[in-house]
A and B are shown apart, each in its own frame.
Chain A
Amino acid sequence: MTPPRKKKMNLKQRYALMTRGLDWETSYQKMDDVFPYDTFEGIKITDWSKWEDPFRLTMDAYWKYQGEKERKLYAVLDSFAQNNGQLGISDARYVNAIKLFLTGVTPLEYQAHRHFSHLGRHIRGVGPRVAAQMQSLDELRHAQTQIHTISHYNKFFDGFSEFPHMHDRVWYLSVPKSFFDDACSAGPFEFFTAISFAFEYVLTNLLFVPFMSGAAYNGDLATVTFGFSAQSDEARHMTLGIEVIKFMLEQHPDNLPIVQKWVDKWFWRGHKVLGLVAMMMDYMLPKRVMSWKEAWEIYFTEAGGALFEDLSRYGLRVPKYADIATEEAEHISHQNWAIFYQYTQAAGFHTWIPGDDELDWLSEKYPNTFDKYYRPRFEMWREMEAKGERFYNNALPQLCQTCQIPMGYTEPGDPTKIGFRSSIYKDERYHFCSQGCKDIFDDEPEKFSQAWLPVHQIFQGNCGGADLSDVLKWYHMDQGIDNMDYTGSPDQKQWDAWQAARKKVAG
């Protein structure tokens, strides 16, 4: 028998047969009924086949690479648990950063899984549809591996145990939750722009990297291993984000103003959510990686600047209010920590006044603002604490209708004046922390007027009762255990006991 004639295909041709070749033009049902959601936003796609697959991963390769990473990750997690790795962290105050992560970010990973499934089913082009399906799998991975990583901390520390319950209810967690709800309730192209581009591409280095570097600097081997393991997934997600933007802009000139509006909106939404990360970086890491301001300069001003220069050939410009966000990088972490310090009685993690060396670090990192505006306030609070008059803010704060953060931010150019905007929609007045948030509302008032604002809901009696203790109970937060200052907390007592026992063993 003569050996068969073997024809050769290159990777691109082969991948095209393995994915795009699967699809067909339906004839028993209209394509518009099979894909009902991908036209109403006004984005015009003239030729789906022009989509460049950013990575050509067949399912078998996906299983192989991902399975291998999972084996390695879980080996480390098992070892971390067996060896009580939590004893090796820099200080138990650090654990509060991962409390914020599990309650605030992990449920979003699950939401991302769901909405990438939405896109993985409903986007007409096969290329982006397959990419979205893989990202849905990845996002589920991140939710589950984060839970499994942090599961061990939950056994020893408070504040983790009720994370899904808290995510749906607690006042500050409505900030990340409403951010993601906003994206998921938008059309598929806006979701791509919001999550794949603005979040995963432009801002990911300001979310993922600070948490994971923070873990590395503070001896949290479990979380940093998760971080390394997720890195190649994130790289794929970023590649998808930039491909989506380029594809939309290349397909039709009418897409530009729509995309620009979304980029403006989601940059501002992202900037406000990331204020929580800013606070984590500057205040919650006992061993600090870099200041928020430094991170902003490197990852947004420089890297983002280069990116938007590159995208300018499509007519896309730097997001609106980028200059204001950059100015706010001098303030946002201090203002946020001050909010949580004042409302520690209703927070699901512990707070504290930075020690002298930490205040000095902040002075050094923020020479323009910290000594002038923020250090005196923290020092005053510290003195009050010493006199037994620890300051609690017992009035519920007004929330911004858009970003849902208490209205504690200051005016651009005047850090002594609280920023304040409002709009009237259907005879009701709505309040905003900034011009950026007001613009977003004004563009979609019907959407944003629906927001479930935690403070309004407490006043309306929908959150367990009128007293703080009722609300805490409704949050599933244990008074004196999950909330309040680190000093005097069960977390602290346990950590100190461990340290004492180790000293004894060391002899």
Chain B
Amino acid sequence: MKLTATGVPVFTVERLTSGIKRQIPLEEKAAMSIDIKTMNVEPKRQTFAHVARRLGSDTTASRYEEGVYDLQATTHFHYRPIWGPEYWTFDEGRTAIKMKDWYVFKDPRQFYYGTYTVTRANMHQTTDRNFAFEEKRNMLANIDEEWREMIVKYLIPLRHYEWGANMNACAVSDAGYGAALTSAMIFTTGDRLGIAQILSRIGIALSEGDGELLDQAKQEWMEADAWQGVRKAIEDSLVVKDWFEILLAQFLVMDGMVYPLVYNHFDTEGQKHGAAALSILCEFMVDWSAEHNRWVDAVVKAAVKESDENRALLSDWYGKWRNIMREALQPQAAMVLGDGGEAVLNEVCEQLDARASKLGLTL
């Protein structure tokens, strides 16, 4: 089989008699002079009618498209929820954002359950290898003592931040509208639990095998001044009623500041203190964030593009949460980076603002 430089086989795509596209390795194609006799059965249609309507014609659809389009019921609900009779179970009114079509929120990653789990399983295999590598060489022992303490202060408490993000993702998966959004958000729910568990593993490893440092880190989260702004922001987001605001606050604003600050700037600082092993153990989060941001950006961009009303509302929310988070992260930046913290935080905010402008938000 012919491979490219990255080890990926070279494929060509052929349409089978059943109308399905199949990837065929080029070498196999070259040998395809053998004529296997099969019955030629003609398909009546290529895809489901609702999918064909969205594609513009009855043509071969991807598994993402068949697995997501129009899957959510839209009408003729039977009973108002007794836990909240103001809306139907699935109701466009649960957000002030208005869309003509909720399936413009397509996932650029094209994740359906199968591609999602396989992608994450592969990513986590690398994480497992990194943990094994670190353990074998006892690399965490190379970290300076005072920086170890710093890790317990700045990194390990983030498992609670991740748990908050998990709840927010789950809230959008619950209250959101349309299968394109809710499916992506339950994937994120799983991602954030997974990341919280990677952070827990780091804490356990630093603790040489028990939960002592996790308890310490939790105390930081609950009581240390440096964390209270972030914890308050998270708790405030947990009672926000509009799910689109939750989506924007958590995944664009909060993550948009926390991830670069922690996994880029704080991590770089750690290199000076022998914490190279930590960078390896946090690789999952760096890769995940780059990938997830593609989804966040696609969703926000599509909502902004829909109408000026949406743009105004999303811009308001952005401004509100940006300022809250900017302030909340200040003591964090100062704690980890000292006098340099302010400049770094400014840089992080400028980058996020630039990203937000690119998405069409008014700052």
Whether both chains belong to one complex is answered with yes
User: Which residue numbers of A lie inside 8 Å of B, CB to CB?
Assistant: 1, 3-9, 13-14, 17-19, 21-24, 26-29, 33-34, 37, 40, 58-60, 62-64, 66-68, 70-71, 73-74, 78, 81-82, 84, 87, 107, 110-111, 113-115, 117-118, 120-122, 130, 133-134, 136-137, 140-141, 143-145, 147-148, 151-152, 154-158, 160-165, 167-169, 174, 177-178, 181-182, 184-188, 447-448, 450-452, 457, 476, 490, 494, 498, 501-502, 505
A115: chain B residues within 8 A (beta carbon): 89, 174
A187: chain B residues within 8 A (beta carbon): 82-83
How many angstroms between the C-alpha atoms of A41 and B124 in the bound complex?
Answer: 40
B78: chain A residues within 8 A (beta carbon): 174, 177-178, 181-182, 185, 450-452
Map CB proximity to A onto B67-100 as digits: 1 under 8 Å, 0 otherwise.
1101111111111111110000110000000000
B182 within 8 A of A: yes
How many angstroms between the C-alpha atoms of A170 and B208 in the bound complex?
Answer: 61
**26 pairs, CB–CB < 8 Å, chain A vs chain B:** A1-B141, A7-B209, A19-B193, A22-B163, A28-B231, A60-B124, A64-B124, A64-B125, A68-B121, A71-B118, A82-B20, A110-B71, A114-B90, A115-B174, A121-B174, A130-B193, A147-B71, A151-B66, A155-B43, A156-B44, A163-B48, A164-B70, A164-B73, A168-B75, A447-B82, A502-B39
Q: Assuming A5-B209, A70-B113, A84-B41, what are 13 further A-B pairs, CB within 8 angstroms?
A: A24-B218, A29-B235, A29-B236, A37-B83, A68-B121, A70-B114, A137-B189, A148-B112, A154-B47, A164-B70, A169-B76, A181-B79, A452-B76
The answer to whether B211 touches A137 (Cβ under 8 A) is no
How many angstroms between the C-alpha atoms of A67 and B117 in the bound complex?
Answer: 5
B38 within 8 A of A: yes
The answer to whether A133 touches B193 (Cβ under 8 A) is yes
B17: chain A residues within 8 A (beta carbon): 84
What DSSP secondary structure best describes chain A's contact surface?
Answer: helix
The answer to whether A182 touches B79 (Cβ under 8 A) is yes
A110: chain B residues within 8 A (beta carbon): 71-73, 179
- Total interface residues on B, using CB and 8 Å? 95
**B19 touches which one: A140, A141, A155 (CB < 8 A)?**
A155
B167 within 8 A of A: yes
What DSSP secondary structure best describes chain B's contact surface?
Answer: helix
B81: chain A residues within 8 A (beta carbon): 184-186
The minimal Cβ–Cβ distance linking B38 to chain A, given in whole angstroms, is 7
The answer to whether B124 touches A28 (Cβ under 8 A) is no
B106 within 8 A of A: no
Known: A82-B22, A111-B73, A165-B50. A121 touches B171 (CB 8 A): yes
The answer to whether A498 touches B41 (Cβ under 8 A) is yes
B185: chain A residues within 8 A (beta carbon): 117
A17 closest partner in B (C-beta): B211
User: Which residue numbers of B lie inside 8 Å of A, CB to CB?
Assistant: 16-20, 22, 37-39, 41, 43-50, 63, 66-68, 70-84, 89-90, 112-114, 117-118, 120-122, 124-125, 127-128, 138, 141, 159-160, 162-163, 166-167, 170-171, 173-174, 179, 182-183, 185-187, 189-191, 193-194, 196-198, 200-201, 204, 207-211, 214, 218, 221-222, 231-232, 235-236, 238-239
The answer to whether B18 touches A22 (Cβ under 8 A) is no
How many angstroms between the C-alpha atoms of A60 and B222 in the bound complex?
Answer: 27
The minimal Cβ–Cβ distance linking A15 to chain B, given in whole angstroms, is 10
The answer to whether A185 touches B80 (Cβ under 8 A) is yes
A145: chain B residues within 8 A (beta carbon): 113-114
The answer to whether A34 touches B63 (Cβ under 8 A) is no
The answer to whether B39 touches A21 (Cβ under 8 A) is no
B84: chain A residues within 8 A (beta carbon): 37
The minimal Cβ–Cβ distance linking A182 to chain B, given in whole angstroms, is 6
Total cross-chain contacts (CB, 8 A): 291
A111: chain B residues within 8 A (beta carbon): 73, 89
**B218 touches which one: A21, A143, A152, A174 (CB < 8 A)?**
A21
The answer to whether A162 touches B77 (Cβ under 8 A) is no
A58: chain B residues within 8 A (beta carbon): 194, 197
B70 closest partner in A (C-beta): A164
**A21 touches which one: B48, B66, B200 (CB < 8 A)?**
B200
A40 closest partner in B (C-beta): B83
The answer to whether A81 touches B20 (Cβ under 8 A) is yes
The answer to whether A74 touches B114 (Cβ under 8 A) is yes
**B160 touches which one: A24, A155, A167, A494 (CB < 8 A)?**
A24
The answer to whether A29 touches B239 (Cβ under 8 A) is yes
The minimal Cβ–Cβ distance linking B327 to chain A, given in whole angstroms, is 14
B67: chain A residues within 8 A (beta carbon): 143-144, 147-148
How many angstroms between the C-alpha atoms of A130 and B186 in the bound complex?
Answer: 12
The answer to whether A498 touches B79 (Cβ under 8 A) is no
How many angstroms between the C-alpha atoms of A73 and B97 in the bound complex?
Answer: 38
A120: chain B residues within 8 A (beta carbon): 170, 173-174, 189
**Which of A22, A118, A154 counts the most chain B CB atoms within 10 A?**
A22
B41: chain A residues within 8 A (beta carbon): 84, 87, 156, 498
The minimal Cβ–Cβ distance linking B250 to chain A, given in whole angstroms, is 13
The answer to whether A60 touches B194 (Cβ under 8 A) is yes
The answer to whether A117 touches B174 (Cβ under 8 A) is yes
The answer to whether A140 touches B79 (Cβ under 8 A) is no
How many angstroms between the C-alpha atoms of A64 and B84 in the bound complex?
Answer: 37
The answer to whether B186 touches A155 (Cβ under 8 A) is no
The answer to whether A155 touches B44 (Cβ under 8 A) is yes
The answer to whether B186 touches A21 (Cβ under 8 A) is no
7 nearest interchain CB pairs?
Answer: A67-B121, A59-B194, A7-B209, A155-B43, A144-B67, A117-B173, A67-B117
The minimal Cβ–Cβ distance linking B67 to chain A, given in whole angstroms, is 4
A73: chain B residues within 8 A (beta carbon): 114
B175 closest partner in A (C-beta): A118
**Which of A5, A14, A181 counts the most chain B CB atoms within 10 A?**
A181
The minimal Cβ–Cβ distance linking B232 to chain A, given in whole angstroms, is 4
The answer to whether A117 touches B218 (Cβ under 8 A) is no
B63: chain A residues within 8 A (beta carbon): 144, 148
